Chain A
Amino acid sequence: MNVTAIHPCVASLLAGSGAVPKSPAAWLDARRAAALERANALAVPTTRDEEWRFTDLTPMTRLQFQPVTSAAAVSAEDIAVHAVAEAAARLVFVDGIHVPALSQTGSLPAGITVEPLADALGKHGALVEPHLAQLAGNDNDLFAALNTAFLQHGVFIHAAKNAGSGQPVHLLFVSTRKGAAAYPRCLVVAEPASEIAFIEDYVALGDGECLTNAVTEIAVAAGASVRHIKLQRESSQAFHIGSCAVTLAKDARYLSHAVTFGARLSRNNLAVIQQGEGAHAQIDGIALIGGRQLADTHTLMDHTRPNGSCEQSHKTIVGGAGHAVFNGKVFVREGAQLTNSSQQSRNLLLSDKAHVDTKPQLEIFADDVKCAHGATVGQLDAEHLFYLKSRGLPEAQARNLLTYAFGAEIIGRIPVPSLVARLEQYVMARTEGGT
């Protein structure tokens, strides 16, 4: 594999791609090579690109990131604090590399498979091939192409027909090293009428500048349901770029909860394509940032078939000199009659230097649909503050409580109690610290 990228930053990112070992499957090697070729042809997006208009990647392009070849020594104690009590299985990745010693998949219910991607390629190749690197488009997306070019470590989650598990699978991605680039990949395949929940959890040990470029692909078959909880708590120096592509078959359900607390610059792409009638998606998002953080969320809900529905609620709480970006596209294609889609973008600004760019976007080509979107930007309501103060709460405490309540609405909908408790604690601590 030769590196021929014209763009210096892409060339630098791709420098280590030659070290990716051959995979057990020839088709995967072909897909990697195609993605490498694609990445070579692309440039790092700039603010002149509409999709990156408010998110400047220049700070990232000034740094060097390379994938690591061996995982740093991380002990069970180091990550104990991140354990999720309700989880049925846990896979741990350190700087993008799977660490079997920290993982356990023993107590999974029948019909649910959770395997490191490398193992799954051998054991379940036929299940993986139709989806892996097929759902997330590489065409114009440099970061998805990069991830595919480096595709090696990841996880494969499979729910067999009618299999169901209320217990989530916990995927813990730990970044430890300065200059490390991690390219994790998750593939989730839910067969008809199955049910699965998983937590994609990004945390940091240490405070180095690192890059996480993650891609998640989710195929939800007819009548199946997937719950996807994404937590991003990387270090304040980290760059996090995550893309998730979801396809929904007839009557499928996809429930997403994205929580963004960390990273110097984070970008969350979510594309949900409704391919079957009557599919439903619920997309929740919350970003709580401060300092000089930037949190960018781009979502696409594509209704292509009749009777689909989507409920989206994205909230941001921005303090310090933080910058929150939201772009939510809703497409209702010709023929997607009786679609019911709603989208809310709510933004809370806590300080003078904080700012928000939001763009809820509707494109409708069918006439018998119900679509609405709304966006608000503002500070805490003076009347709400006054009410709490009249009840004897000091100003600061009243502010914290209202800020907390603003975020808690989204967090409280995550059906994993231990996680909710931990996240709420975090929000409380952060609002008390003035973000």
Chain B
Amino acid sequence: MSTVLDTLVSQPYRHGFVTDIESETAPKGLSEDIIRMISAKKNEPEWLLEFRLQAYRHWLTMSEPKWPNVTYPDIDFQAISYYAAPKPKPKKSMDEVDPELLRTFEKLGVPMNERAALAGVAVDVIFDSVSVATTYKEKLAEVGIIFCSISEAVHNHPDLVRKYMGSVVPAGDNYYAALNSAVFTDGSFCFIPKGVKCPMELSTYFRINTQDSGQFERTLIVAEEGAQVSYLEGCTAPKFDTNQLHAAVVELVALDDADIKYSTVQNWYAGDENGKGGIYNFVTKRGLCKGRNSKISWTQVETGSAITWKYPSCVLLGDNAIGEFYSVALTNHKQQADTGTKMIHLGKNTRSTIISKGISAGHSNNSYRGLVKIGPRAEGARNFSQCDSMLIGTKCGANTFPYIQVRNPTARVEHEATTSKIGEDQLFYFQSRGIGNEEAVSMIINGFCKDVFQQLPMEFAVEATKLLGLKLEGSVG
């Protein structure tokens, strides 16, 4: 069985290639001057520069968090270039977009034009740090939805950006959030006005391309009263030997009766089988259920990155607010993942659900770290958590660190965790039914992750199944 698994788990990275286009890169290192330069390049207003500088000054006083269950060599923050943009060229339509860039997306299997048209998806493509093509904007504008890059939003909707940016993840929230606040280059901004249900799934493709440049996106989604939106984020990155730092910040704000669904499929380069290279994915994602009856749902399929360190969280402030977290985290070779969620119950009758599935293979280490906190005023709060781990092979690790803090007696909190393996008896059963090992492993894993995949929008569910296939099952999928 081990040989079968070995071949299964050693699929090469399909998306590993470097697109050769000229890019404009800032000198390595971080200082107030660099931040001023980024801000000037992006032609930002004074208040945003001030926001960045304050974050930077706060960052200087902070120290790198050491509590996650991951190990990596020290990061030299002065060896990173904090700004990389494709060479600026005026463009009026898609035809003017660098053909090399478009080819990259094709190689990734994202034929933007067709896909956008066929699937009815508006794709705001992020290539390194600057938005290069945006589609379906008018269609969204008709119903009053603003969907653009953060840089554009800063210029066109400064009041909205100023009001909400940093309101969920303050600039000094944690080490990497502070770094992001200081140097973020671009990201997506999405605003759904009162009563509007977004007519299509919104999605963005993030892709890191320039060697040695960390990417610091910033995403802000605001859903006003009664608004509804589903946002998809998919990630792939080319193959590099140097570790790349990725420290994004995602903020979601849901007002009364609003509903935000945020789905991620992350398949960044994880390094080779010896743990060389790969992305460091240190992300702060947090949603604020500000209004009554609001709902925020996170779904993530994490299969890439050398190190994943992320806890998409929900602050359930409004009464009857709902937070959800569905996660599949797969680690292989020398990958390390320390991921989970935080559900902070502050309002009355707030509810949260956590379903986390961790799969470890090779020499990898997969940790679930979660917090369920019930504040003293959260009457009738309810949480259910389930964390299942699957181990493939004897050299990997699966850990669970759930923190449960309850300050209200009417709350009900349940947490369950189990661990299992793909048993010889299960494979034997499949075999007796004429199903080979590869397919059996694939079916067992897909069954294990079903609760999470069901939450993904259809296109992503297909992609997620494929990803796990790529990572574990070879020809299957």
- Does B bind A? yes
**Is there an interface contact between B410 and A364, defined as CB atoms closer than 8 Å?**
no
- Whether B174 sits at the interface, judged by CB under 8 Å, is no
CA distance A351 to B420 in the complex (A): 38
- Looking at the assembled complex, report how far the CB atom of B1 sits from the nearest CB atom of chain A, in whole angstroms: 11
**Is there an interface contact between B417 and A378, defined as CB atoms closer than 8 Å?**
no
Contact among A334, A337, A349, A371 with B395 in the assembled complex (CB-CB below 8 Å): A334
**Is there an interface contact between B409 and A350, defined as CB atoms closer than 8 Å?**
yes
> How many inter-chain contacts with C-beta < 8 Å in the A-B complex?
110
- Whether B126 sits at the interface, judged by CB under 8 Å, is no
- Looking at the assembled complex, report how far the CB atom of B402 sits from the nearest CB atom of chain A, in whole angstroms: 6
Contact among A353, A360, A368, A377 with B421 in the assembled complex (CB-CB below 8 Å): A368
- Whether B444 sits at the interface, judged by CB under 8 Å, is no
- Whether A362 sits at the interface, judged by CB under 8 Å, is yes
Contact among A355, A367, A372 with B405 in the assembled complex (CB-CB below 8 Å): A355
Q: How many residues of B contact A (CB 8 A)?
A: 35
- Looking at the assembled complex, report how far the CB atom of A377 sits from the nearest CB atom of chain B, in whole angstroms: 4
- Looking at the assembled complex, report how far the CB atom of B126 sits from the nearest CB atom of chain A, in whole angstroms: 37
Task: Find chain A residues with CB under 8 A from B414 CB.
Answer: 374-376
- Whether A86 sits at the interface, judged by CB under 8 Å, is no
- Nearest CB to that of B393 among chain A residues? A367
Q: How many residues of A contact B (CB 8 A)?
A: 37
CA distance A209 to B95 in the complex (A): 81
**Is there an interface contact between A375 and B402, defined as CB atoms closer than 8 Å?**
yes
Contact among A351, A353, A366 with B394 in the assembled complex (CB-CB below 8 Å): A366
- Looking at the assembled complex, report how far the CB atom of A240 sits from the nearest CB atom of chain B, in whole angstroms: 23
- Looking at the assembled complex, report how far the CB atom of B311 sits from the nearest CB atom of chain A, in whole angstroms: 15
CA distance A377 to B404 in the complex (A): 8
- Whether B413 sits at the interface, judged by CB under 8 Å, is yes
CA distance A181 to B394 in the complex (A): 48
**Is there an interface contact between B406 and A347, defined as CB atoms closer than 8 Å?**
yes
Interface string of A354-394 (1 = CB under 8 A from B): 11111111111111111111111111000000000000000
CA distance A359 to B401 in the complex (A): 7
**Is there an interface contact between B405 and A362, defined as CB atoms closer than 8 Å?**
no
- Whether B297 sits at the interface, judged by CB under 8 Å, is no
- Whether B408 sits at the interface, judged by CB under 8 Å, is yes
- Whether A352 sits at the interface, judged by CB under 8 Å, is yes
- Nearest CB to that of B379 among chain A residues? A352
- Looking at the assembled complex, report how far the CB atom of A357 sits from the nearest CB atom of chain B, in whole angstroms: 5
**Is there an interface contact between A359 and B413, defined as CB atoms closer than 8 Å?**
no
**Is there an interface contact between B400 and A373, defined as CB atoms closer than 8 Å?**
yes
- Looking at the assembled complex, report how far the CB atom of A307 sits from the nearest CB atom of chain B, in whole angstroms: 15
CA distance A54 to B371 in the complex (A): 14
Q: A375-B413, A377-B406 are in contact. Are A366 and B391 (CB under 8 A)?
A: yes
B398, B401, B410, B419: residue with the most chain A Cβ atoms closer than 10 Å: B419
- Whether B159 sits at the interface, judged by CB under 8 Å, is no
- Whether B166 sits at the interface, judged by CB under 8 Å, is no
Which residues 372-425 of B sit at the A interface, judged by CB distance below 8 A?
Answer: 374, 376, 389, 391-421
**Is there an interface contact between B411 and A378, defined as CB atoms closer than 8 Å?**
yes
Task: Find chain B residues with CB under 8 A from A367 CB.
Answer: 391-394, 396, 421
CA distance A350 to B409 in the complex (A): 6
**Is there an interface contact between B400 and A362, defined as CB atoms closer than 8 Å?**
yes
**Is there an interface contact between B405 and A364, defined as CB atoms closer than 8 Å?**
no
CA distance A365 to B391 in the complex (A): 8
- Whether A78 sits at the interface, judged by CB under 8 Å, is no
**Is there an interface contact between A372 and B406, defined as CB atoms closer than 8 Å?**
no
- Whether A50 sits at the interface, judged by CB under 8 Å, is yes
Task: Find chain B residues with CB under 8 A from A379 CB.
Answer: 409-410, 412
**Is there an interface contact between A364 and B409, defined as CB atoms closer than 8 Å?**
no
Which residues 328-353 of A sit at the B interface, judged by CB distance below 8 A?
Answer: 334-335, 337, 347, 349-353
Contact among A349, A353, A354, A371 with B419 in the assembled complex (CB-CB below 8 Å): A371
CA distance A135 to B410 in the complex (A): 42
**Is there an interface contact between A364 and B402, defined as CB atoms closer than 8 Å?**
no
Task: Find chain B residues with CB under 8 A from A335 CB.
Answer: 394
**Is there an interface contact between A372 and B409, defined as CB atoms closer than 8 Å?**
no
**Is there an interface contact between A378 and B413, defined as CB atoms closer than 8 Å?**
yes
Contact among A371, A373, A377 with B413 in the assembled complex (CB-CB below 8 Å): A377
The 6 A-B residue pairs with the shortest CB-CB distance in the complex, in nearest-first order:
A349-B409, A367-B391, A375-B415, A378-B412, A362-B400, A377-B413
- Please report B residues at the A interface, Cβ cutoff 8 Å: 67, 374, 376, 389, 391-421
